[in-house]
Amino acid sequence: MTIIEAFSWMNIRFLLDGLLVTVEVALLSIVFSFIIGAILGLLRYMKIPVFSKIIGAIVDLIRNLPLLLIIFFTYFALPQIGIRFDIFWSAVAALTIFESAMLSEIIRAGLNSVPSGQMEAGRSTGLSYLQTLWFILIPQAFKAMVPPIVSQLISLIKDTSLATIISLPELTHNARIIYGQNTTYVIPMFIALAFFYFIICYALSKVAKRFETKLA
């Protein structure tokens, strides 16, 4: 049976090795892009003259480019100007650059959705600008931001598969190596890929739903 041979312990272990890399890259990118995205989103919301505009322009440029291009760019082009990462960190850097731009937009839009009267009300009770932002606006915006942030994070996990193009030994890459050496394993490998990605992403979306209903 091909299916049983395809899922020999040897191949499963190889896929799990890949899955581990996928998870590592995803987790690191999530953390970095969340921090950077939050900072950029806040800076844009605060409308600091010139500065916020420049950040806004850069964010707009990045989020309108294909992630695949950014991955290529960090691994193959950035070294030409002296910035070099190995494969693993190239993938993390590219995902972080792209996803933090996407997240900053979500965060900015979330903050903007809070009626401006809230800011004025906060200020009039004697809170400073930052205090109002932190205690009044962010908690209110948070509820609206959670669903888009979660779906962006799920996108990020799926997008790690694109790093296979720079030979990052993640799940998709390893599955391709297995079926590249034996074409009869193609279908089992696609089943395995769909299974792993689906389980992770679906579970995350369900957990997030729980969290949302708790918030509401």
Partner 1 sequence: MLTILTTYPDVLIDGFINTLFSSVIALFFSLIIGTLMAILQLAKNKWISGLANAYVEFFKNIPLLIIVMFFYVVVPLYWFSINGFTAGTIGLTIYTSAFIAETVRAGIMGVPKGQTEAGLSTGLTQNETMRYIVLPQAFKIVIPPLGNQFINLVKNSSVLAMVTGLDLMYQGDLIASETFNTFDTYILIGLIYLIITLPLTYLMSYIERRLNVTS
Partner 2 sequence: MKKSNKPSLFLLLLLPVFFLAACGSQSAATVDITERIEENPTITWGVKVDTNLFGLYDIKSGEIRGFDIAIAKAITEEITGDEANAEFVEVTSKTRIPLLKNGNIDAIIATMTITEERKEQVNFSDIYFDAGQALLVPNDSSIQSLEDLSADTTVLAVKGSTSAQNIRELSPDTNVLELENYSEAFTALQSGQGDAVTTDNAILLGIIADNPGYRLAGGNFTQEPYGIAINKGQDDFLIKVNEALNKLKSNGVYDEIYAKWIPEME
Q: Are 171 and 15 in contact (CB under 8 A)?
A: yes
Contacts 24+ apart (CB under 8 A), 7-13: 7/188, 7/192, 11/178, 11/185
Q: Are 134 and 144 in contact (CB under 8 A)?
A: no
Residue 128 interacts with, from partner 1, partner 2, none (CB under 5-8 Å by kind) = none
Question: Considering only residues 96-135, where is the footprint of partner 2 by CB under 8 A?
Answer: none
Residue 83 interacts with, from partner 1, partner 2, none (CB under 5-8 Å by kind) = partner 2
The 10 Å Cβ neighbour count of residue 28 is 17
**What is the C-alpha separation between 170 and 158, in angstroms, rounded?**
12
Q: Is 85 in the site for partner 2 (CB under 8 A)?
A: yes
Residue 187 interacts with, from partner 2, partner 1, none (CB under 5-8 Å by kind) = partner 1
Between 182 and 205, whose beta carbon lies closer to partner 2? 182
In single-letter form, the type of residue at position 208 comes to: A
Q: Which residues bind partner 1 (CB under 8 A)?
A: 60-61, 63-69, 72-73, 76-77, 80-81, 154, 158-159, 161-162, 164-165, 172, 179, 183, 186-187, 190, 193-194, 197-198, 201-202, 205
Q: Are 103 and 149 in contact (CB under 8 A)?
A: yes
Give the footprint of partner 2 on this chain (CB under 8 A). Answer: 10-11, 14, 17, 31-32, 35, 76, 79-80, 82-87, 89, 92-93, 165-167, 169, 176-183, 186
